[in-house]
A = this chain, B = another copy of it.
Amino acid sequence: MTAIKLDGREVSEAVRNRLASAISDLDFVPALHFVRVGENPASVSYVRSKERLAASLGVASHVHVLPADASQAAVMNTVQHLNTEADVDGILVQLPLPDHLDSAPVLQAIDPAKDVDGLHPINVGRLWAGQDGLFPCTPLGLIAILKYYDIAIESKNVVIVGRSNLVGKPAAALFLREHATVTVAHSRTMDLAGLCQQADILVSAVGSPAMITPDVVKAGAAVLDVGLTRVNGAIQGDVHPDVWDKAGYLTPMPGGTGRMTTAMLMENTYRAALGRRRSALASFAS
């Protein structure tokens, strides 16, 4: 038995095509602004690839580069300035920030309506309270990929390994909203294997290469690999390749969940732009 590939390239292309079409129908150009501090090569490369994707969809982008020794105040001021600019729809502060900076106050300084990474506490609160808001991109991508392949979520046992603010916890919220039974496991979980074996949908977001071996996967389960480790220059996921013979569905690495993350970032930018400009219109009309 070989698992069906949950092809992030294919799903993200579908999302991108839908978005490009919706964006071309707008009477304005959505604008996404990046804040990058220093020249961390991975950050430079991530921002560049997001910019390229934005351009291909008709989203304007701009990168605000601060020196590696920028002060906390300088980063905050940059964000606050972008908050006030009427034609800035989305603000993304590329993480990680240099060690001398505290990211929490920076993320909280972002106008929640422009918070396309969905990390502002008020967006986190809206996510858990069942309200509308901007939510983290990687978890949104997991739901989108499952829906694209018509994999049922409601009433399924979803086990999420990893409890980060970026993936594990917001994924739990989104799966609960889809009426799954959700378990969050982590480094202090006892009998992780026994837990994973009960998962209809298994999400691994740990960053420990090949830790999800076939023996811990339920036959036929959908397995979503969010772990990402660079080993001697090659990218490795959390899921062992032998899981292809046990799972029913599996995301490849690369070409799986990571592809979805950037697509959902563009969807968040589109949604932020619509939300902001419509409410500006509404307040203009009133």
Contact = CB atoms under 8 A, between A and B. Distances in A.
Contacts of A163: 176
Interface in A135-188: 154-157, 163, 165, 169, 172-173, 176, 179, 181-186, 188
The binding surface of chain A is classed by DSSP as mixed
Interface bracket on A: 20 to 34
A231 to B, nearest CB: 28
Query: Within the oligomer, what is the number of copies of this chain?
Result: 2
A163 B124 CA distance: 16
Given A169-B176, A182-B184, A190-B181, A128 B128 contact: yes
Interface string A109-137: 00000000000111111101111000000
Interface in A184-214: 184-186, 188-190, 195
A282 interface: no
A104 interface: yes
Contacts of A156: 190
Contact of A181 (B126, B154, B195): B195
Contacts of A124: 124-125, 128-129
Given A125-B120, A125-B125, A128-B128, A183 B186 contact: no
7 contacts: A121-B121, A121-B126, A128-B128, A155-B190, A163-B176, A169-B173, A182-B183
